[in-house]
Structure 1
Amino acid sequence: MVYILGGWQSDFKRNWAREGLEIGDGFAEAMHGGLDAVGMAPGEVEVGHVGNFVGDLFSGQGQLGGFFAMAEPTFDGLPTSRHEAACASGSIALLAAMADIESGRYGTAAVLGLEMMRNVPGETGAAYLGAAAWVGHEYQGARYVWPRAFSELTDEYDRRYGIDEAHLRRISQINFANARLNPNAQTRDYVFNDASFSADDEANPVIEGRVRKSDCGQVTDGAAMVVLASAERAADYARRRGVPLESLPRIKGWGHRSGPISYQRKVEASAGAPYVFPQVKRAIDEARARAGLSLDGIDAVETHDCFAMTEYMAIDHLGLTAPGESWKAIEAGDIEIGGRLPINPSGGLIGCGHPVGATGVRMALDAFRQTTGTAGGGQVEGARNVQTLNIGGSTTTTVSLVIGRD
């Protein structure tokens, strides 16, 4: 068993470069913030894992595991590693830390995800992020690679099932509303009107193809950190704090699947199948199976909504509706806080923000908060089990976790 003892998230509204900060400064702040939040001394951490996608490009900085010892002298000699899987980098770091603990190699792990993305012009940043596509083969004429990719996914859903883009705008509207309840959300102070979620080319301009401004996740500087522990170390931690072990959430189940880097290869492979992305479906179902839960046992979801279309896809792959019928859950209010299965009460990538390497860790932290009743204004009443769905590239890497209390 692997428990989550707690963690910390930076304010995703901040622009580190404007504050005169470097990526190492963001790392140090997250690491110390996480340890303080959990109430652990650095000497109690036995291994460190960091999730990051493109620090090498945005900051010219690789070898990020070396920032543990830079930020805290006690960590000189700590075994560390960096993990990359595009937008799923943070979740891959979590899986690696889980494996360390489950193998008995270490009893505690600090897992930190981060990305610095607002220090370059928008088009430059978009080109850097395009490294997760099949470079030199896909989207050659696109100004913005990932809006183009998920515009093509909208086309694919339209061909297979039909789609009303008003439902995509509604997903964004819900996530921006949820973000207003989150004190760390990048968009918590954004102001919108009805035209902001319309087909008005001035109020909601087209970015690429069928993707409009309101459909897009945010370009964000940010970091998140959690501490994982074995059952033995978690029991000791709980005992020292006078709380029952059962009050601490654990990672009950996980799913991890990958596909070819080519979007087109994935879509062609699923032709005639019920789901557009079968590997996404497998990861979701395997996480629940390992947790011993069905959809009815999940109280909330933190899902990947790099674009509204990504969440639209996630809704049917999560099993909330039949394939191609995600619109039914949107119209019924099922995905809203108070609905059948609240999705992204944090605001998600659209509302909360998307510092790429941090997103998987941030999702796990929000699951911790939900299941410990500490999610503030975005709390889902009675939440005991939360599922995450973190996607890298065009579903090239998919990781899903089920986090909950016994």
Structure 2
Amino acid sequence: MKRKVLVAGVGMIPFTKPGNHEPYFTMAGAAARQALADAELDYDAIEQAYVGYVYGDSTSGQKAVYPLGMTGIPVINVNNNCSTGSTALFLARQAIASGACDCVLALGFEQMNPGAIGTVFNDRPSPFEDFDREADALVNIADLPLALRYFGGAGQAHMQKYGTPLESFAKVRAKASRHAANNPLALLRKELSVDDVMNAPALWPGVLTRLMACPPTCGAAAAVLVSEDYAKTRGLRRDVSIRAQAMTTDRPDTFDSHDMMNLVGYGMTQQAVQQVYEQAGVGPEDLDVVELHDCFAQNELISYEALGLCMPGEAQKFIADGDNTYGGRIVTNPSGGLLSKGHPLGATGLAQCYELTHQLRGTAQQRQVEGARLGLQHNLGLGGACVVTLYEAEGAASAR
């Protein structure tokens, strides 16, 4: 990163169930306006916009931002599965770090349908052909939607390798609900007990219950990124910066290792977070708060190990000791995560940015992690891409 990149403003609307939402461009516009207001900037200041969504026609990004102003700037539409929002953030950060721009908008939204996600263009080869083939060979279970088979299979692999009990995943889900109870923007705010999660209908007996999966969600989130010099000359807030960031895609071991955890991005996560730690000169022991990709409780658990929050095979103890929540070592998903906050695919990465920005500003209210200075974001998309971002709270003297 050649130039320092600051998060000048963030915005997010309450996440909702499919059918209980505004049109995608209305949701996106509301989040973008919030981010601009938070940054105390007009849309005319934006030099480029990176707009992420998975389910939508080409140039939906233009449809989303044109009501903000038809200023003729480049609008880049981004689709990288569940890592779409953080990919938009990655591109926006690169534009500023490289010196190409000083003020950029990253925007993500999703208007989803009820039920499990699936492919749309069934008249051509699926990008998941190789993933499906490997999953079929490893778990050999039919009649499960794509995501359930992948992430349930990854959880099963961890259970078989380390003896992890189903109750550990239930504890992750219960923790998410406790955190979301304090988040007014979360979709699901009802607190759940471990027994509630364990006794929910089994989607895969002994491996996955219904409450261990995130719900289909609609919503939008946004961030305005600026260069440090731009912020100084215009008197913008300078209290949160992006200290390091990395994006990875699949390597041969995704398939060659014949491991369901690698098939869903464990290796991509390890590679990305190692790059971030090396860029920043820090380690997992230095983190205060983490927003990670918990599309399933199973993925949160294996991500603890992939991100280095605990050693391989120690996630069960990490959870049992309460080291993943307030009063423990590292507060994970104070927002409630995808499991409770919801997972509108294109918006998720920017919703994580929203949460961590407020945590590092000290403005997360009841969710506040006391003294948070370093926050890590992990956003994963099958097929595949992983983006890991490290945010840092700047000194109080540089806030304005």
TMscore range, shorter length: 0.7 to 0.9
User: What residue is the counterpart of 1:379 in the other structure?
Assistant: 368
Look up the SS of the partner of 1:75 in the other structure. coil
- Aligned equivalent of 2:266: 277
Shift of 1:26: 1.5
Does the 8 Å CA contact 1:69/1:77 hold for their aligned counterparts? no
Distance 2:7 2:84 in 1: 18
- Give the TM-score, by structure 1 length: 0.86
Q: Counterpart in 2 of 1:58?
A: none
Q: Sequence identity of aligned pairs in percent?
A: 26
1:355-394 correspondence to structure 2 within 5 Å = 355-393=344-382
Query: C-alpha displacement at 1:160, in angstroms?
Result: 2.0
- Taking the aligned partners of 2:99 and 2:131, their CA distance within structure 1 comes to 43
Which residue is 2:6 aligned to?
Answer: 3
In 1, the alpha carbon distance for the partners of 2:295 and 2:258 equals: 19
Match of 1:259 in 2: 250
Question: Which letter does structure 1 place at the counterpart of 2:82?
Answer: C
The secondary structure found in structure 2 opposite 1:65 is helix
Counterpart Cα distance in 2 of 1:6 and 1:128: 34
Shift of 1:367: 1.0
Name the CA distance, whole Å, in 2 between partners of 1:319 and 1:24: 38
> What is the identity, as a one-letter code, of the residue corresponding to 1:8?
G
- For residues 158 and 95 of structure 1, the distance between their equivalents in structure 2, rounded to whole angstroms, comes to 34
Q: Any conservation in 1 of the 2:254–2:265 contact (CA below 8 Å)?
A: no
Paired residues for 1:312-323 under 5 Å? 312-323=301-312
Contact 1:134 1:262 in 2 (8 A): no
Distance 1:257 1:106 in 2: 24
Unpaired runs of 5+ residues, structure 2, are: 137-141, 395-400
Structure 1 residues not aligned, in runs of 5+: 56-60
Q: Is 2:104 the counterpart of 1:115?
A: no
1:154 is displaced (CA, Å) by 1.6
Q: Structure 1 residue 206: deviation in Å? A: 1.4
Amino acid at match of 1:90: G
- The corresponding residue for 1:28 is 29
Pairing of 1:336-347 with structure 2 (within 5 A): 336-347=325-336
Q: Output the CA distance in 1 between the equivalents of 2:360 and 2:82.
A: 24
Inter-partner Cα distance in structure 2 for 1:302 and 1:214: 19
Offset, 1:194: 5.3
Alpha-carbon spacing, 1:268–1:172, altered in 2? closer, same or farther (3 Å): closer
Which residue pairs with 1:91 in the alignment?
86
Aligned partners of 2:157 and 2:259 also within 8 Å: no
Letter in 2 for 1:375: A
Pick closer, same or farther for the CA change 1:99–1:158 going to 2, 3 Å. same
CA RMSD in angstroms, aligned pairs only: 2.6
Mean CA deviation greater in 135-144 or 167-176: 135-144
- 1:318-351: per-residue Cα shift (whole Å, max 9, x none)? 2222112101110110001221101000100001
CA shift in 2, pair 1:104/1:276, >3 Å = closer
Query: What amino acid is the match of 1:187?
Result: L
Q: Normalising by structure 2, what TM-score?
A: 0.88
Tell me the distance in 2 between the aligned counterparts of 1:128 and 1:353. Answer: 21
Change beyond 3 A, Cα 1:162–1:132: farther
Task: From the superposition, tell whether residues 193 and 279 of structure 1 become closer, same or farther in structure 2 (CA, over 3 Å).
Answer: closer
- Residue 296 to residue 361, structure 1, CA distance change in 2 (3 Å): same
| The 10-residue stretch of structure 1 (206-215 or 297-306) with the greater mean CA deviation from structure 2 | 206-215
Query: In structure 2, how many angstroms separate the alpha carbons of the residues matched to 1:376 and 1:128?
Result: 40
Deviations 1:249-297 (A, max 9, x none): 11001121111699654645999xxx98333112112112212212222
8 A contact 1:255–1:399 mirrored in 2: yes
Correspondence for 2:144:
143
Measured at CA, do residues 373 and 267 of structure 1 come closer, stay the same or move farther in structure 2, by a change above 3 Å? Answer: farther
- Please state how far the C-alpha of 1:152 moved relative to its aligned partner: 0.8
Q: Tell me the amino acid that sits aligned with residue 100 of structure 1.
A: A
Kindly provide the amino acid, as one letter, of the partner of residue 338 in structure 1. G
Give CA-to-partner distance per residue, 1:355-396, whole Å, 9 cap, x none.
1111111111111110000111111000011001111017x2
